[in-house]
Structure 1
Amino acid sequence: MQRLEISDLITAVDPHSGRRLPVRRAEAVRLLRESGDERAAGIVAGLPADEDGVLDPRAVDRLLISVHTELQRLSEELRMGERLVHLLGPLFTAIRETSGQPGPYRLVDVGCGLGYLVRWLAATDALGADVELVGVDLDAALVGEAGRLARAEGLDCRFVHGNAFDLPEAATVYVSTGVLHHFRGPALAEFFRAQAASPALAFCHFDIAATGLAPIGAWVFHRARMRHPLGRHDGVVSARRAHSDGTLLRAAAVPGIRPLLYEPRGAVNPFCTTLRPVLGVRPHLEAPLRRALGRAARRLVGPEHLAEAVR
C-alpha cells in the first residue's frame, strides 16, 4: 500500500486561487491509518486543532517552516545549488545561442518552499544578470518566509504565492527539487504537459533517485539532520515514492519536448546517488545543450537509451 506524506495532508489549498482550505485532523488521521501508517497517524493526532477538529493553520505553518528550514540544511549539504548550475549554466548558454534575442530570461522554481535555490542563485549570480529568478509555491506561509529571507539578505529575486503555470509573465525555464514524487499517476504527465503547453523553452526537475538504497539512506540522513518526527517520516516516505527513470522519461515525453535524464540509475553508484534530474528541452535546444555541456553530455540520455538497456 502506498504510504502518504504528512505534509501533503495537513495543508490544503485551491490549486487555482491558492486560497487555503480547512483540514480536519480526524480525516488526515483516517487516511494515514487506512494506508497502514499508525506512526504518522499518531503524529497528526498530536497536532493542535480547534473545537470543530480543524487543524490550527498557524501551528501548521510554524511546523512546516521549521521542517523546511531543516530541509534547507540538507540542500546545502547536498550542494544542490552547484548541481543545478552544472546543468542550468549550459542550458542558458544554449538558450542564448539559439534565441537570437537578449534577455532577460526567466527561471521559475515550482514549489519553491523557503526558496533556498532561488536565493542561492541570486546570492551567487551563477546564471548571470540576464536571468530573472522567481520562486512560486501554493503555500502562502512558506512563500512569505522566502520573501522575508530574500529581503533580509538583500537579494535580487522574488517569490509569488500561487500556481507556477498561471503567472502573468511566462517562464523561460522551469525548475524544481523534490516535487516530482508528489505527482502520482496521470498527474505526473499533466505536470509536464502544462510546461510543454507554455512558452517555456525547457525544464529541469531534480527528484530522489529510485534506488534500492534510497529509503535506507533517507532514514539515516533524516534521522541525523531532522528534529521533528514529521520531517523524519516524510523524508523516508518521499524516497519510497520516488519515480523510476522509465516512469519519468515516459511522463516527460509530451508533444514539443525532448525528454532527457542526467545520470540515469544504471550509470551511477547507488551509494552516491541521492537526487538526479529529468530535463525537457525544445528539440532545437538539444544539440547546443550537448555542446555546452562538453564531456558531461555523455551523462545525458533519452528514452531510447533506457529501452536499449532493458533489452
Structure 2
Amino acid sequence: MPHLEISDLITATDPRSGDRLPVRRGDVIRQLEEHGDHRAARIVASLPTGRDDVLDPHAVDRLLVGVHTELQRLSEELRIGERLVHLLGPLLAAVRAAATPARPLRLVDVGCGLGYLIRWLAATHALGPDVELIGVDLDAALVGEAARLARAEGLHCRFVHGNAFDLPEAATVYVSTGVLHHFRGPALAEFFRAQASSPALAFCHYDIAATRLAPVGAWAFHRARMRHPLGRHDGVVSALRAHSDEALLRAAAAPGIRPLLYEPRGMSNPFCTTLRPVLGIRPHLEAPLRRALGRASRRLVGPEQLAEVVR
C-alpha cells in the first residue's frame, strides 16, 4: 500500500477553477488509518477545524508556509540552486546554440512552493538576462508568500497561482525540485506527456534518489532540521515514495522527447546522493547539450545505457 504525505491530504483544489475545496479532518484521519499510518493520523487530529469538521484553512496555510520555510533551509544546505544551474547552464547554452528561439527564454518552476529556486536564480542572475523566471503552484498561500518574499528582496521574477501547463506564455524549459514523487501510477507519465506536447524544448526535474539509504538519511536530516511533526513525517515519506531510475526514464519517454538521467544510481555514491535529475529534451538538442557539458556529459545516460550502468 503506498505511503501518503499529510500535506497532500489536508488541502484540495478544484482542478478547473483553482478554487480551494473544503477538507474534513475526519476524512483525512480515516484515510491515513486505512493505510496503517496511525502516527500521521494523530498529527492530523491535532489540527484545528471549523464547522462540519472542516480543517481551518488559515491554520493549514500557516502550517504549510512554516513547513516550506524549513524546507527552504534544506534547499540552501543541499545547494539546490547550484545543482540545477550545473545542468541548466549547459542546457540553455544548447538551446541558444541550436536555434534562435524567441526571446526571452522562459523557465517555469512547477510546484514552486515558496519559490526558493526561482528567487535564488533571480538573485544570482545565474542563467543570464535573457531568461524569464516564473514559479507556479496550485497552493495560493504558498504562491502569495513567494511573491511577497520576491518583492521584499527586490527580485525580478514572477509567481502564479494555477496550473503550470495552462500559462498563456509558452515555457522554454520546465523545472521542479521534490515534485515527481507526488505523482503516482499513470499520473507520472501524464505529467511528462503534458510537457512533451507543449512548445517547451526541455524539462529538468530534480527529485529524491531512490536508494536504500534515502529513508534513513531523510529521517536524520528532517529530525535535525524540521520542528513540526508534519514536516518530519512527510520528509521521510517523500523518500519512501521516490521513483526508481528505471521508472523515471520509462515515464519520461514521451513522444518527441529524448529522456536522460544524470548521475543514476550506478554512477553515484549512495552516501552522498540525495537528489538527482531526470531530463527530457528535444532530440536535436542532445548533441549540443553534451558538447556544452564537456566531460560531465559522461554522467548523462539514456534508457539504453541505464541497464549497463546499473549492472
TM-score above 0.5, yes or no: yes
* Aligned 8 A contact 1:104 1:132 in 2: yes
Counterpart of 1:135 in structure 2: which amino acid?
G
Consecutive aligned runs of 4 or more in structure 1 exceeding 6 Å deviation:
none
Distance, in Å, in 1 between the alignment partners of 2:16 and 2:188 is: 18
1:100 partnered with 2:100: yes
1:63 partnered with 2:63: yes
Q: Number of matched residues?
A: 311
Cα deviation code 1:255-308 (max 9, x no counterpart): 000000000011111000000000000000000000000010000000001233
1:133 partnered with 2:133: yes
Cα deviation code 1:231-260 (max 9, x no counterpart): 000000000000000000000001000000
1:164 partnered with 2:164: yes
Shift, 1:99, TM fit: 1.7
Distance, in Å, in 2 between the alignment partners of 1:23 and 1:13 is: 10
Q: Please name the residue that 1:265 is paired with.
A: 265
Counterpart of 1:283 in structure 2: which amino acid?
P
Shift, 1:18, TM fit: 1.3
Counterpart of 2:254 in structure 1: which amino acid?
V
Shift, 1:2, TM fit: 1.5
Shift, 1:101, TM fit: 4.1
Q: Please name the residue that 1:11 is paired with.
A: 11
Distance, in Å, in 2 between the alignment partners of 1:16 and 1:201 is: 26
Distance, in Å, in 2 between the alignment partners of 1:53 and 1:163 is: 28
Shift, 1:98, TM fit: 1.2
Q: Please name the residue that 1:74 is paired with.
A: 74
SS of equivalent to 1:52: helix
SS of equivalent to 1:176: strand
Distance, in Å, in 1 between the alignment partners of 2:310 and 2:53 is: 51
SS of equivalent to 2:174: strand
Moved more, 125-134 or 101-110: 101-110
SS of equivalent to 1:136: strand
Distance, in Å, in 1 between the alignment partners of 2:55 and 2:291 is: 52
* Aligned 8 A contact 2:143 2:159 in 1: yes
Counterpart of 1:166 in structure 2: which amino acid?
D
Q: Please name the residue that 2:113 is paired with.
A: 113
* Aligned 8 A contact 2:203 2:281 in 1: yes
Give TM-score, length-normalised by structure 1. Answer: 0.99
Shift, 1:17, TM fit: 2.1
Shift, 1:309, TM fit: 4.2
Q: Identify unmatched segments of 5+ residues in structure 2.
A: none
Shift, 1:102, TM fit: 5.6
SS of equivalent to 2:53: coil
Mapping 1:188-227, distance limit 5 Å:
188-227=188-227
Distance, in Å, in 1 between the alignment partners of 2:103 and 2:30 is: 50
Counterpart of 1:106 in structure 2: which amino acid?
R
Counterpart of 2:62 in structure 1: which amino acid?
R
Aligned Cα root-mean-square deviation (Å) = 0.9
Shift, 1:175, TM fit: 0.1
Distance, in Å, in 1 between the alignment partners of 2:117 and 2:156 is: 13
1:255 partnered with 2:255: yes
Distance, in Å, in 1 between the alignment partners of 2:101 and 2:142 is: 35
* Aligned 8 A contact 2:267 2:309 in 1: no
Moved more, 300-309 or 260-269: 300-309
Q: Please name the residue that 1:84 is paired with.
A: 84
Give TM-score, length-normalised by structure 2. Answer: 0.99
* Aligned 8 A contact 1:262 1:301 in 2: yes
Counterpart of 2:212 in structure 1: which amino acid?
G
SS of equivalent to 2:20: coil
Q: Identity over aligned residues, as a percent?
A: 82
Q: Identify unmatched segments of 5+ residues in structure 1.
A: none
Distance, in Å, in 1 between the alignment partners of 2:309 and 2:91 is: 26
